[in-house]
Structures are given as structure tokens and as C-alpha cells.
Structure 1
């Protein structure tokens, strides 16, 4: 598991539980790597044996893409990865970048009861926001997504850019200023917050102060799971909305990573999922 900071991550708990359930021998450690260290770290991987895969979190999701030998189509479209697999080809180590965040977001939203063809809002414009746009495009390709952010990066600057990501996966992104975030959330069936911890605290205050309720059955997925509940999640629940904790997204994307890492050894998906749920103290499926 790579990222910075990394000590709060629950990925080691999830992965270790999965491998123990499968009886698959491995180590899964959290390694603190800063963005400026990405190139050197990637180079070091090729000189070391024994690697099977990496989980990648912020701020490395975009930074690691340039250091892959191969990338899967979803990574190409979004400009971000969260998973790296290793293979030996022609005597050299080949690194391949994947993105399982999209599957994680879809799984978390469906588990929370997301309705079909939802009016969707994404908060933020970074790598996880790109994945959220792609996830919502899978749910309703023709629906379009409103994205509210303080800043919208240009395509090719650190990441593909959330507007370009929408175009790449065949959906329309309506870029809206942050000042419109509360109004956008009020009219949404699904909101995915990709902001860092406490990044939506002020928005939570706005929602609690201005709204009597949100749309019936509206789902909020807050990717920031530590501390929990976030102020945004508490405000949303207080307005009658359904909250999907960020740990749900982490769970479902981790399942896809375990499949990639273990290959033919993967079996008993329900059992793996329940073992992972037990490890982080959430309800079994």
C-alpha cells in the first residue's frame, strides 16, 4: 500500500483478512511514499523480486501512471490508477496500472440502494473524482454529472482532469463553481464527495443551515472515512438522506484488487467479502 500519509489506511486490515481467508501466503504492508519520490520508488521495484502488486492512494494515483509499462483502458481514460500488478516478460519486470476505484464506487452506491438513472453530483476534481465520474457513467451513460470544485485542473496537468475524464468515458461533466455546491447537493439523487477529511465541513454547515431535507432516498458516498462520521455525513443523515461510508468504497475496490493479485487462487467471493467486513467492523453483506 503506497501513499502519503498512510498510517490511517484500513487497506492492510482488508487485504490481510482476504488473504488469510483464501490461505494465500503474502505480506501486505503500508509504505509511506511522497509524490516527489514516485519515480525513484517505481525504479526500485524493478530491481527487487517478490512483488505481486501494489495498492496506490493519494497523492500517487496520477503520479504513478507515467512509471507504468502498461496501463489498462480505464487508467488511460482517467489518467489515474490505484492498483499495480507485476509480471515477468522476456526477463524483465513489467508493471501494469489498473483502476478499481470505479468498481468500488459503483459497489458502494448500489449497496446503499442508489436508484436507477440518478441525478448525480461529484464534489472535488482530483483523481477520485475522475473515478466517480466514470462510475456514474457506468450507472447511467446518458445522465451526465455535475461536478462542484474549488479548482478544475487542466487536462495534462498532474492528471487527466475531471472534465476530460467525463469525455473519455462518454458522459457529460457540467463543471460548477464551489459556491453552487449546496444547491447542487439539494437536488441530487446521488452525491459522491471525494474531498479530503474535513474538506466538506463548511458545506455541511451550509446544508444543515439552509435545507429542511434532501431528495427522498438520496445517497451520499463520502470517500473520506477517517474520522467518521464526517460532518457532511452527519448533516446528510440529519436531512433524511442515506449515507454510504467511504469504507464501503474501500471494501469493494479492495475486492477487485485481491482478484487481480491472487488470480486463479481467488475463490469464495462472499466469504472473502465477509472476512474483510469483519476485519474493519462493518456489517456483513
Structure 2
């Protein structure tokens, strides 16, 4: 019987994280009462020390949120192909020998969330924003989109970064001005990766028949953009969809057992409803 029963989410700030709720719900649903999942406030400066104190005989793995997804990379023994492509690790698995393996479950989680809603392939797509989450969005679109991806950005530097990533991923990228972001919803699929309030100005000028919107925020929900898209008949996915699907994959990486999607989603919904 394995002794690697501990896992946790690290980041700063971390108090808002729903990861403990999701993973603990998975443990409860599958009768894994011996397992433990915690959260720890850890910033970039404190990360090396935290990792060195880990006892791999006890720890199965770690979930990582901002600002640690890139800071963890030099501390790992191996990094998966997806994580390397987007330069972001959100999952660390400890081998019994202490080997540290990093990967990214945000990308396949995003793909799985879309597939759950019937979005298998699209001929074109748009992305709002150009930060770390936008990189994961592009990696997911490399599997989903067969045509051009338009990325709405605020700066030439961000545009150059997205074009370079698209080239590495084999995606055809076109950059467009942030101010034209409302036109993104003319695409069959739009992924919004921006902070709270950033897309509010687009809500009143959306096309009459928007496509699928995947807005990665989950609190507050719905965003103004998501509500406006739904009112106009568009299909809307939210940040909880992404959070749950990536957590299901982490759960399996930590336990060897597929995460119970329905139980984990219900726990996340309940936690958000409580505020």
C-alpha cells in the first residue's frame, strides 16, 4: 500500500483556491479517507525551500498556481512536453525515489471541458488576452482549431510572444487590437483569459449570434461578457469547467485513479454558491 498520501496546492495568494475543495470531494466520493490535501501560501522566494523540505515517501504531488508555474521548472527533474510548450507547470508528481516530474493539466483540462460541451473541432477561434492562461489556451487550440486563431492583445510585445508560441505549436496566429475584442465572438469559439472586468466593455457590443465563449474566470460569475453571450444565444463555459477538468487529471496523477468528475464539480459549485 502506498504511503504517498499527501498533496497540496501552493501559490500566493492562495486562500481563494478551490483545489482543496475539489480534491477532498474526490477523496470522499471514492472512500480515500487516508488521503490529505492542503493549501500553503508560498511565493517564488519561498518555493525552493518548500520543495527541499518535501518528503517524497509521504507526498504524492503538488498543484501550483500563480506565481509559481514558471518558478518551479528549474527545481524539477523532468518536465512534460505540454508544460514545456507553454512554459508553465501546474502539477508536480513525486516518485518514490524522490524524482520530481512536472506537467500541465490546464491544457488537456481545457480540451476536455470543450469536448464535454460537444466542441470537438472548430474552423477558427479567437483568444482575448496574452498572458500565461492565453498560452495554455493556444496549446489547447492546437488540438481543437483547424484554421486561424485571432489573438486580441494590448501591446506589440505580447503580440510577438503569441506569434512565436503559435509557430512552436503549429498554429496559424493573427494578432488584432484589444479594442476590437467584441468581434472575437464572431468566431465559432472564443477563449477569454483576462482578469475580472477586463472584457466588460465588450458585453454591450457583441454580435447578434455569438459562438461558444469559454471565459476562464469563475468568481464572480457570470462575468458581464458571459451573461451577454448567453442572452444572445451563445454557448458559455466558465472557469469552474476548466478548474474541475484540470483537477480531475491532477487527481489521477496523484492517486492513480480517475477523478470523480461529477462529485468534484458539485463540490466546486457548492463552494462558489456559499460565496
TM exceeding 0.5: yes
* Conserved 8 A contact 1:121-1:191: yes
Cα distance in 1 for residues equivalent to 2:123 and 2:267: 32
Name the structure 2 match of 1:274: 262
Q: Residue 38 of structure 2 aligns to a residue in which SS?
A: coil
Cα distance in 2 for residues equivalent to 1:131 and 1:119: 17
How far off is 1:69 after superposition? 1.5
Name the structure 1 match of 2:250: 257
How far off is 1:34 after superposition? 2.3
Cα distance in 2 for residues equivalent to 1:32 and 1:234: 33
Q: Which among 125, 147, 156 is matched to residue 143 of structure 1?
A: 147
Cα distance in 1 for residues equivalent to 2:120 and 2:72: 35
How far off is 1:115 after superposition? 5.9
Cα distance in 1 for residues equivalent to 2:13 and 2:200: 20
Q: Residue 146 of structure 1 aligns to a residue in which SS?
A: strand
Cα distance in 2 for residues equivalent to 1:74 and 1:27: 27
Runs of 4+ in 1 over 6 A off after TM superposition: none
Name the structure 1 match of 2:127: 122
How far off is 1:101 after superposition? 0.6
How far off is 1:16 after superposition? 0.7
Q: What 5-or-longer segments of structure 2 have no aligned partner?
A: 1-8, 271-275
Q: Residue 52 of structure 1 aligns to a residue in which SS?
A: strand
Quick one: structure 1 residues 278 and 229, their matched pair in 2 at CA, closer, same or farther if it must change by over 3 Å? same
Cα distance in 2 for residues equivalent to 1:151 and 1:32: 32
* Conserved 8 A contact 1:121-1:146: yes
Cα distance in 2 for residues equivalent to 1:275 and 1:190: 28
* Conserved 8 A contact 1:15-1:276: yes
Quick one: structure 1 residues 236 and 164, their matched pair in 2 at CA, closer, same or farther if it must change by over 3 Å? same
Q: Residue 181 of structure 1 aligns to a residue in which SS?
A: helix
Q: Greater relative contact order (Cα 8 A, min sep 6): structure 1 or 2?
A: 1
Q: Deviations over 1:156-208 (max 9, x none)?
A: xxxx943333222221222222122122x13211111111222322333xxx1
| Residue 29 (structure 1) aligned with residue 15 (structure 2) | no
Name the structure 1 match of 2:69: 61
Name the structure 1 match of 2:23: 15
Name the structure 2 match of 1:71: 79
Cα distance in 2 for residues equivalent to 1:144 and 1:198: 27
Q: Deviations over 1:109-129 (max 9, x none)?
A: 222333632421111212211
Q: Residue 36 of structure 2 aligns to a residue in which SS?
A: coil
Q: Residue 35 of structure 1 aligns to a residue in which SS?
A: coil
* Conserved 8 A contact 2:152-2:180: yes
Q: What 5-or-longer segments of structure 1 have no aligned partner?
A: none
**TM-score with structure 1 length normalisation?**
0.83
| Residue 166 (structure 1) aligned with residue 166 (structure 2) | yes
Matches within 5 A, 1:105-254: 105-114=110-119, 116-140=121-145, 142-151=146-155, 161-183=161-183, 185-204=184-203, 208=204, 210-211=205-206, 213-215=208-210, 218-254=211-247
